[in-house]
Structure formats: C-alpha cells, structure tokens
Structure 1
Amino acid sequence: MKKDKRVILALDVTTRADALRVVEAVKDYVDAIKINWPLILAAGPDIIRDMSRVKDVICDMKIADIPNTNRLIVEQAISRGASAVICHGFTGEDSVKACVDAAKGQVFVVTEMSHPGGKQFTAPIADKLAELAKSAGARGIVAPATRPERISDLRKIIGGMEIISPGVGAQGGKASDAIKAGADYIIVGRAIYESHDPRDAASRLADEVREGL
C-alpha cells in the first residue's frame, strides 16, 4: 500500500455493482479499499479479488477468535488478494500473532474504536492493545479520528508503526486533525460513497489531508 493520498475508502456498500462503480470513480484519490462483512456477505468472498485488481484491499473482518480460526480466516482473505487484514487485539497475543504469521505481518490491530461506545471497553485498554500489536509484529493499529488526542497518545507507544484512522466524515472526525495527530492514513466511508459525486468527495478529502501534513 503506497503512501500517496493517505486516504483509505471504507466501502460498506452491499452490491458488487455499487462497489465497482464507486471504486472506479475514486481510484485516483485513495490508496486502498477497506471492505467489511456487508460487502463480503452480499457479493461473496471473491469480491476481494475483484477489488484487488484496482487497488490494495484491506479486509476489515475484525478477526477475533482462537489462533487456529484466526489463521484460517486470514489465509482465506490473503489467498483472494487482500493486502492486509484487521483484527481485534482483546483476544490476546497468541490470537493476534496467528493473524500476523498468516498475513506475513500485514495486520492492523484495533486499539480504540471510533464510535461513542468505543469509550466503554476498548478505550480503557487501548494502550495495552497498542503494546500488544507492537510485540506481536503487526504492521500497525487502528485508532479513532474522532478522538485525535488518542492518536497522539498511541503514536508514542507504537513508534514508527502505521496508524490507520476511521471516523472521518459521517462520524465527525476531521481528516487534517487526524493526520496532524499522527495518523498515516484516514479511513472514510459514507462521506465518499454516499456522495452524489464520490470522485469529487474523495478529491476534497485528499486535499484536506494535505492541509494536515
């Protein structure tokens, strides 16, 4: 995944046709496509391969199981062309390490979620989850653009690892604030794919990212 626009599209649509339409429109303004269960379940797992022909794909399955099951899930995603996967860290280091090994390091670990409920359970242990991600050899972490001060805090823990940051747009986070706080990439979904002009929306977000550099 190249670090050019520093924008990742969260493609939470539910048809293959919509997915291909949006990706084709925004491909010049995003560095990767993040796909989650809604699209995978609606279009089938081979949508990963379809998307990977256009852009790098991050499979956001929020993997959270025992090590062997985690390994099997990651292998299925990677074999279909995923460049990276997202897993939860609360399952423990052995489960995270299983993901890291299966993906050859290309794993982002959720530390603190971006929605209000994320403050209940993930936020209090986010620092420990960041430490776990680092010790397990993950590529990076997921940290909330809705709380940029937490990005700064977590950056101090993980050093040079990558931070991808959801919550920009519909959830209220600002792209430039997240980048200034230390995020490497922002993750944006509805503000792009629900726009009447997804290409223009993605372009404007890429411009906002540059303001934060």
Structure 2
Amino acid sequence: MKVKNQIILALDVEEKNKAYEILDAVEDYLDTIKIGYPLTLALGPEIIQSIKKDYKVNIIADFKVADIDATNEKIVKTTLNWGADSIIVHGFTGEDSVLASKNMAEKLGKEIFLLTEMSHPGADKFLKPVSLDIAQMGVDLGIKNYVAPATKPDRLKKIREVVGDDAFIISPGVGFQGGSASETLKYSNAAIVGRSIYNSQNPRASVEEIINSIKM
C-alpha cells in the first residue's frame, strides 16, 4: 500500500457538504481517507460509495470491529461491499475474531488493519499492557497492516519492532492530539490527521503545512 505524502485524512465530520468541501480542498495532496462512525451514522453507508465515486481516494473504514468471529465477518463483508478498500479491526477480541475479519476481507480482495494500541491516554490502562501481544498475534496470522499511536512514539517504535520493517503502519493522533508527523514517520508509514485539517479555516493550507513539516 502507498499513501500520497504519507498523510491520511480522518474525515470525522457529519455533513456531506462539509465532507465534500474538505475533500475538494485537499484532494491534490491526499489520496487516502479514513471514514468512521460520525460520517456513516449521520449519512448512512451510502456515503462511502458516494465518496468513492466522486473522488479518486482509498477509503479505510474506521469501525474498530470488535465482536465475535461470526459478527465480525458480517460487519467486514457489509462495509467492504459498500466500497471501502480496507477496514480497521480491534485485536483484543482474539485470534478467532481477527482471523474471521481477515479471511472475509481477503475473500473480497481487500484488507484489514489490525489495531494494536490507541492514541488517547485512556488506552494506557487496558490496551497498552497487551498491545505488543496483539501485534505479535497479527504477525502470526500473516497480517501486513497495523494501527499504532502517533501520540506515543516509544510505543510506536516497539510495535514496529514486533511487526517488522515490511509491515505497513498507520498512526492516528497527529496534530490536535499532540503527535508530530515527522516524528511519527520515523516508525510509521503514514500519519493520520483529523481535527487539525477538518476543523481548520483553511484545510488546504493545513495539509501543506503538515507536508512541509515532514520535509524539514
């Protein structure tokens, strides 16, 4: 997988006009976006199909799938059939649930991203103690794509050491949450940026500023 300028936009808005306004502003710089519950619950899964049709972007569905294997399989199938290119799946639910997600995605010719550890402080209590085990489980299952936090470079580094140099890591938390794009990309393949772009008065200029900071 390749991500243009190593930046992924987390498009966590709730109105179609707003989403399209932001995409119009940044499409010259970005080719990958992450769509989560805010947009899909507000507008329905049709918004994935709509954006896929109107913009040349890769769409990662950030649904953090976390259920039993049979339910995970259904969620992954339905989401990817709406046009998403990949979907984020929690690892703490265990091997059977993750493998069901992986197998369904591959059956559809698509991919999953395994979430190892989250970017917010609260993740330290429950996810941090097991995140390296989750990463190792992913390696054992042959998973190539991972999510690891930009806000915790030390944790990101350790997760990279577990999954190896050939794995593809995307990292949330750059910008508003305090993560640095340039520091993150020492270990990650792409930085995920949300509020610093979509809440900006000038999303295009904000993206340009982040890209320039990487090149420094």
TM-score by length of 1: 0.95
Pairs within 5 Å for 1:69-148: 69-104=71-106, 106-148=111-153
Partner of 2:8: 8
In the TM superposition, what whole-angstrom CA distance separates every residue of 1:123-144 from its partner, at most 9, and x where no partner exists? 1101001011222232311111
**SS of match in other structure, 2:113:** strand
RMSD over aligned CA atoms reads 1.2
Establish whether residue 34 from structure 1 lines up as the match of residue 34 from structure 2.
Answer: yes
Partner of 2:63: 61
Paired with 2:48 and 2:207, the residues of 1 have a C-alpha distance of 21
TM-score by length of 2: 0.93
Check conservation: 2:87, 2:111, Cα contact below 8 A: yes
Paired with 1:2 and 1:184, the residues of 2 have a C-alpha distance of 8
Check conservation: 1:67, 1:98, Cα contact below 8 A: yes
Partner of 2:47: 47
Q: 2:194 aligns with which of 189, 192, 196?
A: 189
* Divergent runs of 4+, >3 A: none
Q: Gaps (5+ residues) in structure 1?
A: none
Establish whether residue 152 from structure 1 lines up as the match of residue 157 from structure 2.
Answer: yes
Q: Gaps (5+ residues) in structure 2?
A: none
Deviation at 1:107, TM superposition (A): 0.9
Paired with 2:45 and 2:204, the residues of 1 have a C-alpha distance of 26
Deviation at 1:209, TM superposition (A): 2.7
Paired with 1:62 and 1:19, the residues of 2 have a C-alpha distance of 21
Amino acid at match of 1:85: I
Check conservation: 2:184, 2:191, Cα contact below 8 A: yes
Check conservation: 1:62, 1:88, Cα contact below 8 A: yes
Paired with 1:43 and 1:209, the residues of 2 have a C-alpha distance of 34
Deviation at 1:170, TM superposition (A): 0.7
Deviation at 1:80, TM superposition (A): 1.3
